[in-house]
A and B are shown apart, each in its own frame.
Chain A
Amino acid sequence: MFFKSLDLTTALRPLLLPDETLLFVQDAVGLYEGKYKIPDYQNGHAYLTSHRVCYVAAEEPRKYSVGIDLKEVDRAEYQVVKQTVRSTAGFFKSSPKITLYPKPQKGKTDKSRSATASPTVSQQSSLLPVHPSSPRPQSVVPQQAASPKPVNATWICPICSFSNPVPSNFDPATATAATHLPPCLACGIKPPFTTVLKAAISAATSRDSPLPSTTAFPTENNTAHENGSLSGPAGLAGSVSCSRCTFVNHPSLMECEMCGAPLATGGLSIPGDDSSRTDSPAPFFAQSRITNSEVTDSIKLSFRNGGEKTFHERLKGALIQRKWLLQNAPPVPPPSQAGASTSGPAIAALESPQPAAPRATAVGIAGLEQRGLETRMNNQLVIGNAFEDLEALMASAKQIVALAETLARESGMTTNEGASAETNAVLSESAAALGMVTTKDMLSSGSENLYLSELSRNLAEYLTDDRKGILHREGGIMSLIDLWAVFNRSRNGVELVSPSDFQRAAELWEKLKLPVRLRRFKSGLLVVQRYDWSDEKTVRQLQEWMEELRRVPPDESVPWDWTVFGRAVTAQEAAQRFKWSVGVAAEELEMAEDRGVLCREEGIEGLRFWSNHIVA
């Protein structure tokens, strides 16, 4: 597993590969290698895409950004939320973390993978030999190793049939009959050794463990975390002590078994209570440049602002789907090629895989109708299949996108005959933009600021995207309302952005140092323009134009001296010349007038602007 350098877009987000889609974004994330923090990589955005996990630092993102290909990730583990470790110094809390383990590399015996005697040993043995030369603080407080392993197994007392937790220090691999066993919590009778051993083994085997060879012992994390935000005295193996009666309950219980009080699973440590904590007591990793360095150990993402659950869920999904395998794969094979290809290439590409039924040759209107019917059936099937469940939608994403493209193109062609070619182009390109947009459900709820800043970046990318050239086509300036309309149309009617969110996102450009900026004209009109575009440049353009008009004789004879005064221009002419919209042109002309460069003439021809010869 390698840290790869990232290409960032103009909006300082990872540049996505073709077919790569953004799955999730989370801010306030730090990076660890093994147990050690990597300096300068402690506060940034984590981007989960279908192909990669990317980290982009909030400060100096061009310098500190790395990506890890998911294809090199073996598995991801989700470390307990806000784990509380009892130590002599008191209680330490750590932010929830997701650990990425690399795949074992070929031709290299990976100690950490093969030696799986116990998780504690494997973790330590994998750490120490990796960087023997790197100076490490000796006073490391091991986060994980010192705490006893929580076990989710229960044994049933043969006397009173009470369900007791298997003691945390009980290791079925090493335990013997001599091992001390605690008595039943209800009747106080010591259980027979075999009962506890059986319970521990059955619990380990019934669990869907990522390490199939480890049935001999319970692994440290998985079981306890599945219940989310469990916490409790670590000595009692993840079980929860009731706050009312102090009875120690089984971790999967929501209410106290004794008194029925709701168990405050998050009571001891509320997730997100110290949201902006960027400094954790973990030691720093000594290496400062990590790009292109190999990771033999694990990578940890520390979520200081929450969002780890969704991240983990989507990461698991991405690891299962393995989209990167599709990267160079041919598109979904269009089925029943021979028959359907006559109905137009666009439709043919949409048809769903169906056994090519022996096709009766029909001619004339009947044939056309039959063909139409088939097409409709196929489309129906595609849509039906895709929406059956979300997994299926992911699988048939390509088909659906193609269908959406065609529908958009068709609706564009039929409904507005006179619409500009640009609009149609934007509409038909819209599917391409699907992968680029941040939608609200990509982010954990409540992170309004993150949503806005991501939307802001999205917009900046959308505007500066050379393929679309939105801003360029509009003469470098565009009214915010026009942009809102075009942007929302490109989202194909899903996940539309509300005007207020849109405006707030646009207002963030300046703060996020993005290459576009929002500008308010005197009249209150909000426009979007390139960051480096200024009024001075516009004024210079206008002045050049006015100079030009003084050199070129007007079409018809004019009563004034055109070599001195030139001629009048209207907002329409300016819009045409500079490819602005008329509203923007009027505003720009008035801006120039405001600066005394132009002056106005009101007449029966309407409002026209002249080079200012009144101010001598």
Chain B
Amino acid sequence: MATSTTTTTPFTFPPTYNFPPFFTPQPNSTTRHSQLQKWSSLIQSWCRHHRTYRLSLVDAVDSPLFHNAALRKRLDLAEARAVVDWMTKKEEEEGGGGQRAEWIEGASAGGNAMPKSVAWIWWRRPEEWADVLVDWIDATGQRGVVLTVFELVQGEATVSQEFHGMDNDVMMKALNVLVKRGKASVFGNEGEEGVKFF
């Protein structure tokens, strides 16, 4: 994967990032929808580029993601929250961004428990991660082999893989998806989980 290995190259922003009205919530519903979609894809590609799984909005509003220093424009916290909120909603039923984000309840950035301040950004959803894992297992012929979660995330064998260096919680979510599908079983104590693929 190109992006996974080139973390040192600067992130290239889409052209709309330099369009000043992009930072103002649009009252027209069509325009607004388009704006939210563009923000959603920007956040996802930003997170993928920076291998970020959980995004703390309080920190992010000062990052180049939400703050265009050249234009001296920024998306403030409330507006960024509105964008992520939209991303958490289902596409069909709620007209949202297709569950590309998920709020982390109780988590907080600076120690104060604040609702909706940290979110998972699903540039790949847990289900999609599960598919990636299964593909890798199949490709390497490791069915029936017991692996530790640590091996999957940090092991030398997965360095070339996209899920290398993945957030542990995300990995567990992906594995849980596989467990539910009956493709794997997880065992062991917390923090020392092992996994067996069928």
Q: Which residues of B contact A612 (CB under 8 A)?
A: 21, 31
Tell me how far the C-beta of B41 lies from the nearest C-beta in chain A, rounded to whole angstroms. 11
| Contacts A559-B70, A559-B71, A560-B71; A614 near B27 (Cβ below 8 A) | no
Q: Which residues of B contact A561 (CB under 8 A)?
A: 15, 18
**Chain A residue at smallest Cβ distance from B26:** A599
| Contacts A560-B71, A603-B73; A614 near B26 (Cβ below 8 A) | yes
Interface residues on A, range: 20 to 34
**Chain A residue at smallest Cβ distance from B17:** A560
Are B28 and A559 in contact (CB-based, < 8 A)? no
B38 close to chain A: CB less than 8 A: yes
Q: Mark B4-41, 1 if CB is under 8 A from A, else 0.
A: 00000000000110111111101110110011001000
Tell me how far the C-beta of B92 lies from the nearest C-beta in chain A, rounded to whole angstroms. 21
A86 close to chain B: CB less than 8 A: no
Q: Mark A585-613, 1 if CB is under 8 A from B, else 0.
A: 00000000110100111110000001011
Are B31 and A614 in contact (CB-based, < 8 A)? yes
A615 close to chain B: CB less than 8 A: yes
Are A564 and B15 in contact (CB-based, < 8 A)? yes
**Chain A residue at smallest Cβ distance from B18:** A560
Tell me how far the C-beta of A440 lies from the nearest C-beta in chain B, rounded to whole angstroms. 44
Q: Which residues of B contact A559 (CB under 8 A)?
A: 18, 70-71
Are B26 and A600 in contact (CB-based, < 8 A)? yes
Are A616 and B34 in contact (CB-based, < 8 A)? yes
Q: Which residues of B contact A616 (CB under 8 A)?
A: 34, 38
| Contacts A614-B26, A614-B38; A596 near B31 (Cβ below 8 A) | yes
Q: Which residues of A contact B16 (CB under 8 A)?
A: 613-614
**Chain B residue at smallest Cβ distance from A609:** B21
Q: What is the bound-complex CA distance between A293 and B26, given in angstroms? A: 67
A568 close to chain B: CB less than 8 A: yes
A window 549-592: CB within 8 A of B: 559-561, 564-565, 568
B window 34-70: CB within 8 A of A: 34-35, 38, 70
Number of residues of chain B lying within 8 A (CB) of chain A: 20
Residue of A602, A603, A615 touching B30 (CB-CB under 8 A): A615
Are B21 and A600 in contact (CB-based, < 8 A)? yes
Are A615 and B31 in contact (CB-based, < 8 A)? yes
| Contacts A559-B70, A600-B24; A565 near B19 (Cβ below 8 A) | yes
Q: What is the bound-complex CA distance between A559 and B18, given in angstroms? A: 8
Tell me how far the C-beta of B61 lies from the nearest C-beta in chain A, rounded to whole angstroms. 17
| Contacts A603-B73, A614-B38, A615-B34; A560 near B19 (Cβ below 8 A) | yes
Q: Which residues of A contact B34 (CB under 8 A)?
A: 614-616
Tell me how far the C-beta of B94 lies from the nearest C-beta in chain A, rounded to whole angstroms. 21
Q: Which residues of B contact A613 (CB under 8 A)?
A: 16, 19, 21
Q: What is the bound-complex CA distance between A67 and B181, given in angstroms? A: 93
Q: What is the bound-complex CA distance between A565 and B24, given in angstroms? A: 15
Tell me how far the C-beta of A510 lies from the nearest C-beta in chain B, rounded to whole angstroms. 28
Are B20 and A560 in contact (CB-based, < 8 A)? yes
Residue of B15, B27, B73 touching A600 (CB-CB under 8 A): B27
Q: What is the bound-complex CA distance between A564 and B27, given in angstroms? A: 23
Q: What is the bound-complex CA distance between A594 and B26, given in angstroms? A: 10
Q: What is the bound-complex CA distance between A613 and B22, given in angstroms? A: 9
Q: Which residues of B contact A610 (CB under 8 A)?
A: 19-21
Tell me how far the C-beta of B30 lies from the nearest C-beta in chain A, rounded to whole angstroms. 5
Give me 7 other A-B pairs in contact (C-beta within 8 A), A603-B20, A614-B19 excluded.
Answer: A593-B27, A599-B28, A600-B21, A603-B24, A612-B21, A615-B31, A615-B34
A sample of 5 cross-chain residue pairs with beta-carbon separation below 8 angstroms, ordered by A number, consists of A560-B71, A593-B28, A599-B26, A599-B31, A615-B30
Q: List 9 tightest A-B contacts by C-beta distance, closest first.
A: A559-B70, A601-B21, A615-B34, A599-B21, A602-B24, A560-B18, A601-B20, A610-B21, A614-B35
